[in-house]
Amino acid sequence: MTTDHAAPKPKPVRATRPRRQLIDLALQGGGSHGAFTWGVLDRLLEDERLEIAGISGTSAGAMNAVALAAGLMEGGRSGAREALRRFWTRVAQASPFHALQSGPWGELFGTDNPWLAPMQMYAQWLGQLVSPYQLNPLNLNPLRDILQTEIDFDRVRQCSKTRLFIAATQVRSGRLRVFEQSELTADMVLASACLPLLFQAVQIDGEPHWDGGYAGNPTLLPLITGTPADDLLLVPINPRLREATPTSASDILDRINEVTFNASLLKELRSLALLKQLIRDEGRPRSRRSAPRQPLYERVDALRVHRLDAEAELSRFGASTKLDTRWSFLQQLHGIGRRAADEWLRQNFEHLGRRSTVDLAQEFPG
């Protein structure tokens, strides 16, 4: 006699969620080349596998950071993407060359108006001869109007979705000043982006401040100690390497600009490389109940470093183009940033949470 057995019920299949990875972002400054970073952020915000724990930003990186934070509070990821687009659109509209590009001259010559380059060169030449205190005694700054109009700083200060750290340089001491998110104002972001040959120093708490690129471009320590993320993604703008030795005056000035605004970041990375090497050589010290904790030691030990750049493409643009805020140029940079981020995610997402994709020991031997 046979006995019929009921077929076992299949176990319900649980939908697997994609692995969400917590990351920090370090956003370098570089004038209008910050539109490259806009493109990078635009693509990263599309990827819901990523959660941005903190952002350290300087100059244009600081402006991208506050736009992103305000947008996150307004409308989540899509709100952040829209806030970034709105900000850079306003930057283009405030350009002194916008009328030439969009008016009758723009219709006649197209987006590559031949009058634009000579006018930009003249503006740079004039800035080297006359200080902003003489050339602009009323201290007019179109970026102030854009920040105050487009960025809701109440939302920035109250943003619970990420943490912000904004760098500026104290003029009198030359020291780094890091503004915390809870205190951020439009003037603090302007201080982070204050190029001393273009704008008067920005007064914060009675202290004059210049561009943060001189002291921290961007600074990394606040991210290492101030957020729970162990993956730090650098988004640099200024090329690290130039194969050819510059020989013309303009090329020499361009390279000086790049070296100057990379120096602080390279110094911090070298310090991280040294600390990691010491940890490997000496081993983690045995903990004692009576001994104080060493959070920085532990955080550096766990840190994984990554870099997302487009050095080959951005190196085609000289430092002088950092003043080019034509919409066509900003869109071009945005596209380069999106493609670079897309390629980086394809090649490196699986390494997040597992290992560094930047070998600091190799970059900073000894």
pLDDT of 288 reads 44
Does the pLDDT of residue 75 top 90, yes or no? yes
What is the model's pLDDT at position 333? 98
**Rg of the chain taking only CA atoms, in angstroms:** 23
Task: Tell me the per-residue pLDDT of 138-154, one tens digit each, with 9 for 90 and over.
Answer: 676 889 999 999 999 99
Cα 133 → chain centroid: 29
pLDDT for the residue numbered 100: 45
Across 13-37, average pLDDT: 84
Mean pLDDT of 211-218: 95
Would you state the pLDDT for residue 232? 98
According to the model, what pLDDT value does residue 124 have? 53
Burial of 225 (0-12, 13-18, 19+ CB in 10 A): exposed
Instruction: Indicate if the pLDDT at residue 12 is higher than 60.
Output: no
Question: Does 250 score more than 60 pLDDT?
Answer: yes
Report the pLDDT value the prediction gives residue 298, as an integer from 0 to 100.
85
pLDDT for 305: 97
Residue 11's pLDDT band (cuts 50, 70, 90): low
Mean pLDDT for 179-190 is 96
Specify the pLDDT at position 292. 43
Judge whether residue 5 has pLDDT over 70.
Answer: no
Write out the DSSP string of 249-314: HHHHHHHHHHHHHHHHHHHHHHHHHHHHHHHHHH-PPPP-TTSPP-HHHHHHHH-EEEE---HHHH
Q: What is the pLDDT of residue 198?
A: 87
Q: For the chain, where are the E strands, in sequence order?
A: 21-27, 50-58, 163-170, 176-180, 202-204, 207-211, 231-235, 304-307
The pLDDT of residue 285: 53
- Segment 263-274 mean pLDDT: 94
In degrees to the nearest 10, what's the CA dihedral of 320, 323, 327, 328?
0
| pTM (two decimals) | 0.85
Locus of tokens 């740079």: 124
Query: How much is the pLDDT for 206?
Result: 95
pLDDT of residue 9: 59
Average pLDDT over residues 144-168: 96
Angle between helices 60-93 and 34-46 (to 10 degrees): 100
φ/ψ (deg, to 5) at 203? -85, 120
- The fraction of the chain above a pLDDT of 90, given in percent, is 64
pLDDT in tens, 272-324: 999 988 888 877 654 444 444 446 778 899 999 999 999 999 999 988 889 89
Backbone angles phi, psi at 164, to 5 degrees: -115, 145
* Residues 220 and 56 sit within 8 Å (Cβ to Cβ): yes
Number of other CB atoms surrounding residue 222 within 10 Å: 22
Average predicted confidence (pLDDT) for the chain: 85
Quickly state the pLDDT bin for 209 (edges 50, 70, 90). Answer: very high
High-pLDDT (> 70) share of the chain, %: 80
Residue keyed to tokens 């982070």: 192
Q: Which residue has the higher pLDDT, 356 or 100?
A: 356
Question: Which residue type occupies 343?
Answer: E
C-alpha–C-alpha distance, residues 208 and 204, integer Å: 6
User: Which amino acid type is present at position 137?
Assistant: P
Section 242-250 average pLDDT:
87
SS3 of residue 229 by DSSP = coil
Task: Identify whether the C-beta of residue 249 lies closer than 8 Å to the C-beta of residue 198.
Answer: no
How many C-beta atoms lie closer than 10 Å to residue 263's C-beta?
Answer: 15
Instruction: Note the pLDDT of residue 129.
Output: 60
Residue 157 C-alpha from the chain's centroid? 18
CB 37 within 8 A of CB 235: yes
Residue 225 and residue 268: Cα distance in Å, rounded?
14
